[in-house]
Structure 1
Amino acid sequence: MKFKSFVSVAALAVAATAVAGAAQARDQIQIAGSSTVLPYASIVAEAFGENTDFPTPVVESGGSSAGLKKFCEGVGENTIDIANSSRPIREAEIKACAEAGVKDIIEVRIGYDGIVFASDIKGNKFAFTPADWFKALAAEVVVDGKVVPNTAKSWKDVNPNLPDQPILAFVPGTKHGTREVFEEKVIAAGCKETGALDVFKKADEKGAAKKCITLRTDGVSVDIDGDYTETLARIESNKNGIGVFGLSFYENNTDKLQVATINNVVPTVAAIASGEYPVSRPLYFYVKKAHIGVIPGLQEFAQFFVSDEIAGASGPLAQYGLVSDPELAKVQADVAAAKTIGQ
């Protein structure tokens, strides 16, 4: 497969989003969902339009949960064809899809991304552990064996080795798949690491896990419902803020942001690929099989997306920050066979 020359991948992502926003015709593939997957899908959509006879797909954001909800609204030209997601589809969502007639879903893993913690490039440097984040943001913590409301004001209150800087965290809102990964691999991990989980279980075995990830509502933890550009804007207006980003977004904004370590590991593509960096996740898109053969180019787009030239280690997605899937050949075979969930 040969492609026309690629322009700067960052410019390509912006251009694709602009084209997608203006498009209206239904002979185009319609995609919605994860803001983390958005730049990758936009790059692929633009390249697909340039290198095939099919129109450039329409790519929109909105968050993983919102995209999957739209995906599960039903089958037909008035529904989207693909949902992007930074987490696996849930069983409840598969059930909701089936109830609406979306019974055959193709899951496509496109690669891996890291979740990073970044702050103003001229500010303090941070070396975090999951325990630090739990003790900073959890609504309740354990002090001297007792569960108490969290009143920590400075990162130094949380860990004496951290800077004496007010705690202010900009975290993904609950509609984003990144939020679930943040809760699971950072907040919940920190809850367990500090021993708080065991204390919570003594009081309420069933509710302990939820208590671990319940965050403060006193202004130190701020939900961001928009995409990473909104998080960056918040940090630019409040230099004490620390934001939760995808690695690729950070790597494309290193002139404005500096990144923290987690467990003394610097987040890099290599550290994620090796598994050394602890806060990473696979990225996906989901295809409505019933639309293949109905919406022009849908099968071709899915195969184009995961081709070696696009999703491989030397492709434009890797240039933008995606960690190539080590099992890409298997993904390609499953997509070519239109293999659905459960097959």
Structure 2
Amino acid sequence: MLTTLINKRSKSLLALTAGTVLLAACGQGQNGGQEASQGNAEGSSGDNAQSAEQFDRAQLRIVGSSTVYPFSSYVAEEMGATTDFRTPVVESTGSGGGFKLFCTGVAENTPDMTNASRPMKASELKMCQDNGVEDITQVMVGYDGIVVGQKSGEPALDLSREQLTKAVAAKVPQDGQLVDNPYTKWSDIDSSLPDYDILVYGPPTSSGTRDAFEELVIEHGAENIDGYNGEKPAIRQDGKFVPSGENDNLIVQKLAQNANAIGIFGYSFLEENRDKIQAAKIDGVEPKRELISSGEYPISRSMFFYTKNAHAEKIGGFDEYVTLFLSDQMASDRGALKKLGLISLPAEELDQMRQNWKNKEKVTADSLKGGHG
């Protein structure tokens, strides 16, 4: 360990370290001298010398959104296959779970980047800053639509956001009061809807998809249903809404097996599974690429990843990964990620993201919001 540290320092620091070892050895013996020397090299030698060191781990570590995961993983695999860098490790932890891991600090065992299907919250930025993660760049990579899906071949649904709110809210207004949700069938909500039990497979609380669904559907629905009086209802927990983990493929599998269930997931999973599932219209609008990109589809949102710039010089492949992700080869409307369901940014916006990364634009509370949702 001592030899490794010395080899990474300048000649002047080498002399200082050697002197410290000699003095400490006189007073403490050989082992004590090594401990004193290591403490001096890692502590009193200064933060600048420490920050210039490379991490021992050989791979980027990326966490976060299950919606962004397929795109991030594809870029990681391509990087591993076409460069000398090890394939980055990508974990699907959900957007909220990703921010918790990302914001724990700048130590080597913390993630380098986190994916998100919503903007970072001000509270999450503060959590990062409180733990020393202060230099962060936000990169928007494309748009996504939240799909309300059902088994392929079934009569197609057309649901309003108000109907969805009544289906999944824990409390609904009746006779001037908010009461526990009594709706058990869709036809209880509206006689034009199917006469079968409400069963909604949806994302867990750690998911950015859930955050976006609550904002774009439930908040909107509550604002347009008499009786909520500004309150945002929680999601029901009586078995009608079933949190189904961060792997949206599990929701797809459940829908394929149950003609009466609906599921909530990202557009890319619809693209990959059109032989098994179909999408409901929301407020009369289908989730199509051009309608999601324009924001006309009412449950549209933006997708991001966030970079921990304190790690940028400490681990190989950091810049190369971001550059590859934002390349025309990957992220443009002609790129490989389109086949996975990525709804690309307009060319000028993609160019702006490249410039933001080049300049390492630093996230602030004022800069967090952007895109749809």
TM-score, scaled relative to structure 2: 0.80
Deviation at 1:333, TM superposition (A): 0.4
Q: What pairs with 1:184-195 in structure 2 (closer than 5 Å)?
A: 184-195=215-226
Q: Which residue of 2 aligns with 1:132?
A: 163
Unaligned runs of 5+ in 1: 1-24, 202-207
Distance (whole Å) between structure 1 residues aligned to residue 339 and residue 251 of structure 2: 23
The residue that corresponds to 1:311 in the other structure is 331
- How far did 1:52 drift? 2.5
Q: Indicate conservation of the 8 Å contact 1:109/1:283, yes or no.
A: yes
- Note the C-alpha offset of 1:133: 0.7
Aligned to 1:266: 286
- Partner secondary structure for residue 329 of structure 1: helix
* Cα deviation code 1:241-261 (max 9, x no counterpart): 100011111111011101100
Paired residues of 1:124 and 1:163 also in contact (CA < 8 A) = no
Aligned twin of 2:52: none
Letter in 1 for 2:342: L
Matches for 1:210-225 after TM superposition, within 5 Å: 212=233, 214-225=234-245
SS in 2 for 1:115: strand
1:152 to 183, 188, 201: 183
2:101 is aligned with 1:101 = no
Question: What is the identity percentage for the equivalent residue pairs of Structure 1 and Structure 2?
Answer: 42
- Deviation string 1:35-91 (CA, Å, 9 cap, x unpaired) is 101000011111122232222111111111111111111113211101111111111
The 5-angstrom pairing of residues 120-269 of structure 1 reads 120-198=151-229, 201=230, 208-209=231-232, 212=233, 214-269=234-289
Gaps of 5+ in 2: 1-55, 368-373
1:334 aligned to 2:363? no
Structure 1: distance between partners of 2:251 and 2:268: 14
Code of the residue aligned with 2:323 in structure 1: it is: Q
2:87 aligned residue? 56
Deviation at residue 144 of structure 1 after TM alignment? 3.5
- Give distance in 2, aligned partners of 1:68 and 1:57: 18
2:97 to 63, 66, 72: 66
State the distance in 2 between where 1:190 and 1:153 align: 19
Larger Rg: 2
- Cα displacement (A) at 1:238: 3.2
8 Å CA contact retained: 1:117, 1:244 = yes
CA contact (8 A) 1:303 1:336 kept: no
Counterparts of 1:275-286 in structure 2, within 5 Å, are 275-286=295-306
Q: Indicate the SS of the match to 2:228.
A: helix
- Note the C-alpha offset of 1:273: 1.4
Q: How far apart are residue 320 of structure 1 and its match?
A: 1.3
Structure 2: how far apart are the matches of 1:258 and 1:88?
A: 28
CA RMSD of aligned residues (A): 1.5
Query: Could you say what secondary structure the match of 2:101 adopts?
Result: helix
Count of residues in correspondence between the two structures: 308
Q: Matched residues in 1 for 2:227 and 2:287: separation? A: 27
8 Å Cα contact 1:140-1:149 kept in structure 2: yes
Please say if 1:39 is aligned against 2:70: yes
Aligned to 1:75: 106
Scaled by the length of structure 1, the TM-score of the pair is: 0.86
Distance 2:316 2:183 in 1: 55
Give the superposition deviation at 1:337.
Answer: 1.4
- Report the 3-state secondary structure (helix = DSSP H, G, I; strand = E; otherwise coil) of the residue aligned with 1:194: coil
